[in-house]
Structure 1
């Protein structure tokens, strides 16, 4: 799933990159289905996208005073014979200035723009499973995308800073609670996100039961 950049994006100075510069975390067709635009094409003064498995927080501003954005929850729904086909189910809610400012203030205080992608950080712990947290940033002159495998297990700076930032993102937007609520609203079926596969066997609100997932 190669990234196709516009002429404007190709002319930008790419300030930082990672392996995902050629392999974007969401296939282009799926990104379009989710309503995600290429951040490299953004014309906003500052534009941020923070991605974890199944969730994306996107924030932008044109004056560094007021902010807009959204929280997107999504999951892949297996369908068809053998479950090899899928469609995407998602839920989006707006992000407003008060919470966005908290996140950008921490982003700036931890100097995340100056932290390189994991491949350029000495002794970054890696494993065979787990997931990547992804930080994208664009302004009118530059674009960057950086990946960090499992910040939660990192024990050294700057890994501790990345972990602290994504922990704050979780608290401010209540990401765990909102993803669980999103799962509860899904119809019965088979789903996956990252390396996690789940089967929903009881419809939410059904008589005598509630939402039930099993790995």
Structure 2
């Protein structure tokens, strides 16, 4: 996935900060500053091998603002949720993964739905960071709408849900259906 999306590999000699969730992947590095949206195709009730990705480059001021936010909220020292007493766990919701690499240090931390454990200081900080401020800085709603307009599938998994597009052109849908049947038969 890292190679397919053109993200920094933790084994490379490049410092980076990355936030991954079902909403998007955001990466800051000297190599690139971007946010990536992705969807997995669902056909006939099953996930296929087809994916759709759309990258948006962040403006330098957006990357700088995120960097300042990370520092001001003291995000990097927050331990993974399994090391925070009383952090809630569940099956649905949004899990955030925060990775960063600086020189020879690498960190990988996971946080299940910070808003579900809002009584904890760490959860409040992470929820504010990921669900409010970060989304605002990257213009999440605008980018999400642009991405969703371009998804080439009739049914897909995205943002934790399965979505089906309304069929407005039956001829195009029949062509797509034939193409999918042939693809699946050839696999």
State the TM bucket, normalised to the shorter chain. 0.7 to 0.9
Richer in helix (by share): 2
Greater CA drift, 140-149 or 83-92:
83-92
TM-superposed deviation, 1:106:
1.1
Give the 3 Å change call, closer, same or farther, for CA 37–198 of structure 1 in structure 2: same
The answer as to whether partners of 2:52 and 2:152 remain within 8 angstroms in 1 is: no
Q: How many residues align?
A: 167
In the alignment, what sits opposite 1:200?
Answer: 165
Whole-Å separation in 1 of the counterparts to 2:29 and 2:52: 24
In the alignment, what sits opposite 1:182?
Answer: 147
In the alignment, what sits opposite 2:137?
Answer: 172
Deviation digits for residues 38-78 of structure 1, max 9, x if unmatched? 2x22323x4101112141111014xxxxx941111111012
Choose which of 85, 105, 123 in structure 1 pairs with 2:68.
105
Would you identify which runs of 4 or more consecutive aligned residues in structure 1 move more than 6 Å?
A: none
Matched, 1:56 2:21: no
Q: After superposition, where does 1:79-90 map in structure 2 within 5 Å?
A: 79=43, 82-90=45-53
Q: CA RMSD in A?
A: 2.1
Q: Secondary structure at the match of 1:146?
A: strand
TM-score by length of structure 2 reads 0.80
Runs of 5+ consecutive residues of structure 1 not aligned to the other structure: 1-29, 62-66, 205-215
Give the 3 Å change call, closer, same or farther, for CA 95–42 of structure 1 in structure 2: farther
TM-score by length of structure 1 reads 0.70
The answer as to whether partners of 1:73 and 1:182 remain within 8 angstroms in 2 is: yes
The answer as to whether partners of 1:190 and 1:198 remain within 8 angstroms in 2 is: yes
